[in-house]
Amino acid sequence: MSSEELAPINEQDLKDLKERMKLIVEADPKQYHNEFSLRRYLRAFKTTDDAFQAILKTNKWRETYGVDELSKMDRSQLDKKARLLRHRDCIGRPVIYIPAKNHSSERDIDELTRFIVYNLEEACKKCFEEVTDRLCIVFDLAEFSTSCMDYQLVQNLIWLLSKHFPERLGVCLIINSPALFSTIFPAIRVLLDDNTAKKVKFVGDEVELCQYLIPDILPTDM
Are residues 38 and 86 both part of a single domain? no
Long-range (24+ apart) CB contacts under 8 A made by 199-204 are: 199/169, 199/170, 199/171, 199/172, 200/172, 200/174, 201/171, 201/172, 201/173, 201/174, 202/174, 202/177, 203/173, 203/174, 203/175
Instruction: Give domain status of residue 206, yes or no.
Output: yes
Q: Are residues 59 and 97 in the same domain?
A: no
Identify whether residues 88 and 178 lie together within a single domain. Answer: yes
Residues 60 and 169 in one domain: no
**Contact present, 184 and 149 (Cβ < 8 Å):** yes
CB-count exposure of residue 61 (10 Å: 0-12, 13-18, 19+): middle
Is there a single domain that holds both residue 93 and residue 182?
A: yes
Q: Are residues 92 and 16 in the same domain?
A: no
184 within some domain? yes
Residues of the chain under the 70 pLDDT cut: 1-3
pLDDT score at 4: 74
Question: Could you tell me the residue range of the domain that residue 181 belongs to?
Answer: 81-217
The domain boundary, picked from 26, 41, 65, lies at 65
Q: Where are the beta strands (DSSP E) in the chain?
A: 83-88, 94-99, 135-140, 169-175, 200-203
Supply the pLDDT for residue 6. 83
Determine the pLDDT at residue 5.
Answer: 76
Do 26 and 88 share a domain, yes or no? no
What are the pLDDT digits (tens) for 127-186?
Answer: 999 999 999 999 999 999 999 999 999 999 999 999 999 999 999 999 999 999 999 999
Within a domain: 210: yes
Would residue 76 count as lying in a domain?
no
Contact 150, 194 (CB under 8 A): no
What is the reported pTM?
Answer: 0.95
Residues 39 and 129 in one domain: no
Q: Are residues 32 and 111 in the same domain?
A: no
What b/e string do you get for 163-190 counting C-beta neighbours within 10 Å, with b at 16 or more? ebbbbbbbbbbbbbbeeebeebeeebee
Q: How far is CA 98 from CA 27, 45, 79, 154, in A?
A: 40, 28, 10, 11
pLDDT at residue 3 in the model: 60
181 and 141 Cβ atoms separated by less than 8 Å: yes
Q: Helix or strand or coil: residue 212?
A: coil
- Cα 183 to chain centroid distance, Å, stands at 24
For residue 170, is it within any domain? yes
Q: Which amino acid is at 204?
A: G
DSSP 92: S
State whether 21 and 96 are in the same domain: no
Q: Is residue 17 part of a domain?
A: yes
Asked if residue 105 belongs to a domain, the reply is yes
pLDDT at 2: 46
Residue 71 covered by a domain: no
Q: What CATH number corresponds to the domain at position 155?
A: 3.40.525.10
Residue 188 and residue 97 in one domain: yes
Residues 161 and 206 in one domain: yes
* Number of structural domains found in the chain: 2
